[in-house]
Structure 1
Amino acid sequence: MRIIAIDLGLKRIGLAYTAEGTIVTPLPAVERRNRHQAAAEVNACISEWKAEAVVIGIPMGGSSEEEMRRRVAHFMNLVAFEGPLYYQDESESSLEAQELMRGVMKQKRDGRIDSLAAKIILDRWLLTQEAEKYM
């Protein structure tokens, strides 16, 4: 199944892709100027990669989970994706992405870390799906 992962941020939206659920590739991030522009660009990415499902990161278990689910639902309504939408805990994904990039490159605000965070979110979701097969 072709899947796009989204790390939804206020300034940038990180994106990642997998075709078969094995190799996850970060995609160029979307610079968020306004929500309609961002939703249109995410929708174009979903269409370009022919994604059949979307995994979106949210912080789970904290006091902000309900508010973030509401914001994500609103954004995804703007995207108008009609396939399955899955939530994955994004806790520490941006921090983990920064750690992975430390020493590799000077940290630019070009979205690489955001898309690496989306890759981490999708990797986690895929691991969860694989683990559920054996339960």
Structure 2
Amino acid sequence: MSYNNILSCDIGLKRIGIACYIQGLILPLPPIIRKNRNQASSALSQILLEREIHTLIVGIPDYEDGKTHEMERRIKHFISLVNFKGEILYINEALSSKIAQESLLELGKKERKEKIKNGELDSLSAMEILKRYLSQIF
């Protein structure tokens, strides 16, 4: 298996955070701002194609009761709309947003608020999800 050209995403109702693993580096990418699921799935499909992604890592919430919950169902439905023939893996995203938010603590309140609003926080969360995946395989 090639460990290059891996993309991870943190799928939310308003934004999709994206991070990419290329040539040994994890990089945040500009998030997709969701207008509707068709627009967002098309945008993600285009990124996967343009970047020649082989593996898509998708963050899934982890619930202690072990049951499938609404957000997990929505995420998997959204991924089914994405035009992608590569490998799709689901990774526990628990606390990834909190960890990403902690990385912004050195910024001023206004800057932090802007990064949350414009989706940069979501892409930092996608980076955390990607780090978790890579720590499992390396």
Is 1:94 the counterpart of 2:97? The answer is: yes
* C-alpha contact (below 8 Å) 1:94/1:114 kept by paired residues: yes
Displacement, 1:112? 0.6
Displacement, 1:127? 0.2
Partners of 2:67 and 2:137 lie apart in 1 by: 21
- Structure 2 length as normaliser, TM-score? 0.86
Partners of 1:61 and 1:42 lie apart in 2 by: 26
SS of residue in 2 equivalent to 1:60: coil
**Which residues of structure 1 form unaligned runs of 5+?**
131-135
Displacement, 1:94? 0.5
Choose the corresponding residue for 1:66, options 61, 65, 68. Answer: 68
Partners of 1:101 and 1:12 lie apart in 2 by: 18
**AA in 1 matched with 2:136:** T
Is 1:6 the counterpart of 2:9? The answer is: yes
Q: Identity, % of aligned pairs?
A: 36
Deviates more, 1:104-113 or 1:47-56: 104-113
**AA in 2 matched with 1:25:** L
Judging changes above 3 Å, is the alpha-carbon distance between structure 1 residues 69 and 92 closer, same or farther for their aligned structure 2 residues?
same
Runs of 4+ in 1 over 3 A off after TM superposition: 61-65
Report how many aligned residue pairs link the two structures: 129
* C-alpha contact (below 8 Å) 1:5/1:122 kept by paired residues: yes
1:38-53 counterparts in 2 under 5 A?
Answer: 38-53=40-55
1:74-85 counterparts in 2 under 5 A?
Answer: 74-85=77-88
- Please name the residue that 2:127 is paired with: 119
SS of residue in 1 equivalent to 2:129: helix
**Which residues of structure 2 form unaligned runs of 5+?**
none
* C-alpha contact (below 8 Å) 2:15/2:119 kept by paired residues: yes
- Structure 1 length as normaliser, TM-score? 0.88
Judging changes above 3 Å, is the alpha-carbon distance between structure 1 residues 128 and 93 closer, same or farther for their aligned structure 2 residues?
same
SS of residue in 2 equivalent to 1:15: strand
* C-alpha contact (below 8 Å) 1:58/1:65 kept by paired residues: no
Displacement, 1:121? 0.3
SS of residue in 1 equivalent to 2:68: helix
Q: Deviations over 1:75-124 (max 9, x none)?
A: 11111211111111100101111100112351211111000000010011
- Please name the residue that 2:136 is paired with: 128
**AA in 2 matched with 1:44:** Q
